Amino acid sequence: MKEMIKIIGGAALLYLVIVMLIAVLPAIDLSKTPAGPGVVPLTPLEAHGRQVFAANGCAYCHTQQVRPTPADANLGRPMSPGDFKYRTPVLAGSERTGPDLTNVGTTRGSDVWQYIHLYDPRAVEPDSIMPNFKFLFRVVDTVPEGETAVPLPPQFAPKHGHVIPTADAKALVAYLLSLKQTKIPGYSMNGAMGGTTSAAAPSTAGGTSAAGDTAQGASLYSSHCAACHQASGAGLPGAFPPLKGNAVVQDRDPTEHIHVVLNGLHGKAIDGVTYGGAMPPFAGLLNDADIAAIINHERTSWGNAAPTVTAADVKAVRDGKPVAAPTTPATAPAVASPTAAATPAAAEKSAYQFDAKRGDALYASTCAACHQASGEGLPGAFPPLKGNPAVLADDPAEHLSTILHGVHGKTINGQTYSSPMPPFGGQLDDEQVADIANHERTSWGNAARHVTPADVAKIRARK
Amino acid sequence: MQSSPLAPASVTAEDEQALSRVFSAYTLTGTLWLLFGTAVGLLVAFKFGAPDFWAEKYLTFGRLRPIHTNSVFYGFATLMLIGAAYHVVARSCGTRLYSAKLAWLGLWLFNIAAVAGTVALSLGYNYGDLEYREWPWPIRLIFIAAVAVTGWNLLATMLHRASRDLYLSNWYIGAGVLWGSIIAIVAIIPIYQHGLGMMAISGYYMHNAVGMWFTPLALGLFYYAIPKVLNRPIYSYSLGVLAFWTNLMFYPLLGGHHFLFSPLPWWLQTAAVICSVAMIVPVFAGSANYLLTMRGRYHGRIESYPLAFLFIGVLCYLFGSTQGTLEALRSLQDLWHFTNFTVGHSHLTMYGFVTFAAWGAVYALLPLSTGKNPGRFGMATHFWLALVGMGMYVIALSIGGSVQGWDWIQHAPFIKSVTDMKTYYLWRGIGGMLMFVSHIVFAWNVWRMTFGKSGDAPSPIMEPEAESTP
Ligand code: HEM
Ligand code: HEM
């Protein structure tokens, strides 16, 4: 009896003391940790989403903790105690079968992406092994008032009907989008929020380091952009625009391209398609060198061949200044011809020379899908441009206006075409429109006079 | 205790029978939970290669995974260990079970909790994905009641022992049930579990549930079953005493290492690392004690399958815990934390150590209790399939986990770590399949040791030493 109390009772008592000291008392103290700057409670909708997250065991594959270790340096800043004030349950996780979600509201900030990904992860990430969560969606014949159908790529969509999210899915997505680290004043680690390039030398102003950045650019693109725009640059039809052949990406003047990556984009029609989702801004997440590397990857992949940019260009756009630095063609040797590089954008415009090769390429990527490479169109669906009166007219106003603003329901040579032609004014600059128009005006036996970017600018301004 | 325990004068034949029925019932239901829990484990492993397979609401990965862990922890491992513990405590104390009724009540409570917990998780009632304590609190209250009833029964049995000394097994088992109650109660009280406080309790709970509940029960069974099978005393009583107290001093703090580099107080994390290293003392003392008890009888391991199971259990205790010590070092945490290496560790320890210990104890002791033997071939099949399967499982994930960790350090796109794991997930699945088949064979063996027809295996107790040493 005595021996038993001594041993087993002693062991239990000793354990109790240890547990108080190492678990209970610290936990009492830690539970009182105040919120860090900017850390706010979840809204009721987000809190509901957190329930859905826990109920379906998301935390078994996804952590929500960033450590001060090399492996985590690209996930954001390390956690600070103040981050946890409103995190009950903590959902910190202990395994990363899938990626950490601490900043998913920033890096995958598009609700459309989140819905598509939940419905079928393979639609946006072919190699994903995450289960689908189709049970969080309903398939309906007609989309009810106030609901929006998820724009799924056809091969992932159900055969009939439209997919709309349930209340649980909406709450879950609201919760995911709320997952963003707050900035801690005075704290900085490798650039903005623990960028990845602390080790990489900043790009030199000459832009000659473009080659050295390619691996970095591909890797950054893959972790920050490919989720939506896809590794192939083809985007997801109807959900995320392609970057391959994209006018802003191909534009010689990179200002708009840099601007979009820095500040995000919402509701702009691209190639006639308006996208419901918003592209998140990356200005707070990536430093200038990272953004330049990503942009250069986009400008030189998938057949894109636009001039590359430098970190200094990104900085200029960040500061709202014009991009002063000359741009170097990506394909040119590292030592670019000084004269070509030094030509300022304005001078280039006045010295416009129609380049048949450029016009041909632009026509092929932008127009030929409908009007065909032969310029003959598709009978009944898309009108021919060969021998087309508007194309042949001496006054280019109608021709240019159609390219810039699109056209719908027009009768041409007695045939009415019902499918609309999208406007291209948003994605092509004046020079590109001129190139395309001139290509059309001088091919397939057409022989009309050349137009200039100035003509295009005039028509653009008119409407 | 040794070969001739104190003549259990006060123990009647009915008492023996009652104990045997309790032991059998715990083992049988535990085996059912093993079959269920690992069938789910296999399904979960399969889903890594076929994520769209059975992705419906109630069968989604995130609901099945906690069903796997909780049912093997609180259905299988707990019931198997406690069934054998009843036998060990009553026999080593030379007395009857204090109350068979309480043992049956405990069995019902454990099973009700495990069934209710499984249903709740499948319906989406998950307590914040907090590992191994996901069941909603009312169900965990039932589990606490079951542990309390069991503890009362076991301690009361020890109180009525015939001998003056308390054999080592009873130290571990008696303290284990009290530690288990403390752990479960600390984990359920919500007042100090907000935000970071909850994270601290999770870190504490995850490793204390394995280290202060399953580990002491399994070690307690070792101390009885190994000498019993070998028919010779434990090598050193004082090594056992040293291991007991150092285990108590160092193990509780291990939990903090789950959250190395987290905002938990630095002293707590550092203490966790130091204690993880200090764990070498009890682990080596304990393992050495078991291995030295087996000295000179190594060839006998293969002749006696009960001993073979116990031997693997001891080795995995040694390897798994040493591996844990390495994992806890900050530099290696950089590489292995959050990777599948951890899952490999979990199975090396919970499967290689705890599960093999439970099997070894059942093969060694259940035939003595029921008078029925399994088949020799059945035991051999179970042993080799389980061992080879586990080897594949653990090796695949240890390599895969290292690759995964390396990809992250390289800042490769995340998806690379997913595609790199494909082969290793496949090997894990093949290993898991062998493991699962071995469990079906085990169930058949248990049936023969309890209600079925006795098999051809010899008595688990080996010939006395003199005859087998050349
Ligand atoms: C056929 C046998 C088994 C198979 C195929 C299997 C498979 C699995 C799988 C696929 C996971 C999830 C891993 C992940 O999320 O990455 C897992 C987790 C786990 N299993 Fe098993 N398992 C088996 C047997 C067991 C047994 C018998 C036990 C304990 C007695 C056990 C304890 C655990 C634990 C503790 C975890 C969580 C690991 C962690 O979080 O680190 N398993 N198992
Ligand atoms: C000296 C003894 C041990 C040490 C130092 C140790 C250390 C560790 C460490 C560092 C981890 C976390 C790894 C990570 O998340 O990166 C871990 C996880 C784990 N250990 Fe141990 N371990 C020891 C013994 C054991 C034993 C004996 C068992 C089982 C009976 C066990 C079962 C587990 C389980 C199930 C996990 C997974 C928990 C989770 O992450 O969900 N360990 N151990």
ipTM of the complex: 0.93
- Running DSSP on this structure, what letter comes out for residue A7? I
A215 and A141 housed in the same domain: no
Share of chain B above pLDDT 90, in %: 80
Cα separation of the two ends of chain A: 100
pLDDT tens sequence across A38-58: 899 999 999 999 999 999 999
Q: Residue range A25-41: average pLDDT? A: 89
Residue A310 lies inside a defined structural domain of this protein: yes
With residue B20 as reference, give the H or E element that holds it.
Answer: helix B13-47
Calpha distance B100→B21 (Å, rounded): 9
Query: Across the interface, do B60 and A74 touch by the CB < 8 Å criterion?
Result: no
Question: For position B59, which CATH number holds?
Answer: 1.20.120
Residue B316 lies inside a defined structural domain of this protein: no
A289 and A174 housed in the same domain: no
Residue A449 lies inside a defined structural domain of this protein: yes
Q: How far is the CA of B322 from the centre of ligand 2 (A)?
A: 10
Residue B102 lies inside a defined structural domain of this protein: yes
Residue B188 carries which side chain, given as an amino acid letter?
I
A178 and A258 housed in the same domain: no
Tell me the ligand closest to B340's alpha carbon.
Answer: 1
Report how many domains make up chain A: 3
Among B202, B215, B254, residue to substitute to test ligand 2 (most atoms within 8 Å of Cβ):
B254
pLDDT tens sequence across A347-362: 444 578 888 888 888 8
Query: Across the interface, do A23 and B201 touch by the CB < 8 Å criterion?
Result: yes
Average pLDDT, chain B: 92
How many CB contacts within 8 angstroms connect chain A with chain B? 254
Q: How far is the CA of A82 from the centre of ligand 2 (A)?
A: 28
A36 and A94 housed in the same domain: yes
Q: Answer yes or no: is pLDDT of B467 > 80.
A: no
Please report the pLDDT score of residue B327 as a whole number.
86
Q: Answer yes or no: is pLDDT of A195 > 70.
A: no
Q: Answer yes or no: is pLDDT of B440 > 90.
A: yes
* SS3 label, residue A162: strand
Q: How far is the CA of B207 from the centre of ligand 2 (A)?
A: 6
Phi, psi of B304 (to 5 degrees): -110, 105
Query: Across the interface, do A79 and B60 touch by the CB < 8 Å criterion?
Result: no
- CA A377 and chain centroid, separation: 33
- Running DSSP on this structure, what letter comes out for residue A86? T
pLDDT tens sequence across A90-120: 999 999 999 999 999 888 888 888 999 999 9
Q: Answer yes or no: is pLDDT of A327 > 50.
A: no
From A7, A84, A94, residue closest to B195, measured CB to CB: A84
Please report the pLDDT score of residue A341 as a whole number.
39
Ligand 2 nearest atom to the CA of residue B336, by list position: 16
A163 and A263 housed in the same domain: no
Please report the pLDDT score of residue B303 as a whole number.
73
A47 and A173 housed in the same domain: yes
Q: How far is the CA of B434 from the centre of ligand 1 (A)?
A: 14
Residue B228 lies inside a defined structural domain of this protein: no
Residue B41 lies inside a defined structural domain of this protein: yes
Calpha distance A397→A395 (Å, rounded): 6
CB proximity under 8 Å: B 93-152 to A: 124-131
Q: Which domain holds residue B60?
A: 11-166
Higher pLDDT, A199 or A461: A461
Q: Answer yes or no: is pLDDT of B4 > 90.
A: no
Q: Which of A160-169, A213-222, B63-72, B347-356 has the lowest mean pLDDT?
A: A213-222
Q: Residue range B357-383: average pLDDT? A: 96
Please report the pLDDT score of residue A435 as a whole number.
92
Residue B247 burial (CB < 10 Å; 0-12/13-18/19+)?
buried
Ligand 2 is surrounded, with C-beta below 6 A, by: A 94; B 131, 206-207, 210-211, 214-215, 254, 257-258, 276, 279, 283, 320-321, 324-325, 327-328, 333, 336-337, 342, 345-346, 349-350, 353-354
Q: How far is the CA of B346 from the centre of ligand 2 (A)?
A: 6
Calpha distance B82→B61 (Å, rounded): 30
Please report the pLDDT score of residue B256 as a whole number.
62
Residue A128 lies inside a defined structural domain of this protein: yes
Tell me the ligand closest to B433's alpha carbon.
Answer: 1
Give whichever of A21-25, A330-334, B106-110, B413-417 has the largest mean pLDDT. Answer: B106-110
Closest to B49 in 3D by CA, of A95, A131, A99, A230: A131
The chain A residue lying nearest B193, using CA atoms, is A31
- Is residue A421 within 8 A of residue A401, CB to CB? The reply is no
Please report the pLDDT score of residue B434 as a whole number.
98
Share of chain A above pLDDT 70, in %: 85
A37 and A173 housed in the same domain: yes
A307 and A255 housed in the same domain: yes
Residue A105 carries which side chain, given as an amino acid letter?
G
Question: For position A283, which CATH number holds?
Answer: 1.10.760.10
Report how many domains make up chain B: 1
Share of chain B above pLDDT 70, in %: 94
CB proximity under 8 Å: B 362-381 to A: none
pLDDT-derived band at B466 (thresholds 50, 70, 90) equals low
pLDDT tens sequence across B219-253: 999 999 999 999 999 999 999 999 999 999 998 87
pLDDT-derived band at B425 (thresholds 50, 70, 90) equals very high
Q: Which of A446-460, B369-383, B414-428 has the lowest mean pLDDT?
A: A446-460
Closest to B396 in 3D by CA, of B354, B350, B340: B340
Average pLDDT, chain A: 82
Q: Answer yes or no: is pLDDT of A153 > 70.
A: yes
A333 and A437 housed in the same domain: no
Closest to B220 in 3D by CA, of B351, B84, B129: B84
> A137 has which bridge partners?
A165
pLDDT-derived band at A201 (thresholds 50, 70, 90) equals very low
Residue A5 lies inside a defined structural domain of this protein: no
Residue A23 lies inside a defined structural domain of this protein: no
Residue B141 lies inside a defined structural domain of this protein: yes
Other Cβ atoms closer than 10 A to B191: 10
Q: Which domain holds residue A32?
A: 28-183
Other Cβ atoms closer than 10 A to B428: 26
From B129, B197, B249, residue closest to A28, measured CB to CB: B197
pLDDT-derived band at B465 (thresholds 50, 70, 90) equals low
Residue A102 lies inside a defined structural domain of this protein: yes
Phi, psi of B264 (to 5 degrees): -60, 150
From A14, A55, A93, residue closest to B124, measured CB to CB: A55
Residue A19 lies inside a defined structural domain of this protein: no
Please report the pLDDT score of residue A211 as a whole number.
43
pLDDT tens sequence across B290-328: 999 998 877 666 678 999 999 999 999 999 999 988 888
Query: Across the interface, do B126 and A30 touch by the CB < 8 Å criterion?
Result: no
Calpha distance A3→B165 (Å, rounded): 7
A363 and A456 housed in the same domain: yes
A140 and A65 housed in the same domain: yes
* SS3 label, residue A415: strand
Residues 6+ apart with CB under 8 A from B65: A57, A60, B44
Strand locations in B153-277 (E): none
Please report the pLDDT score of residue A348 as a whole number.
44
Please report the pLDDT score of residue B134 as a whole number.
97
Calculate the dihedral angle through the C-alpha atoms of B391, B394, B398, B401, rounding to the nearest 10 degrees.
140
Residues 6+ apart with CB under 8 A from A386: A374, A375, A376, A443, A444, A445, A446
Residue A7 lies inside a defined structural domain of this protein: no
Calpha distance A51→A265 (Å, rounded): 31
Residue B140 lies inside a defined structural domain of this protein: yes
Please report the pLDDT score of residue B301 as a whole number.
62
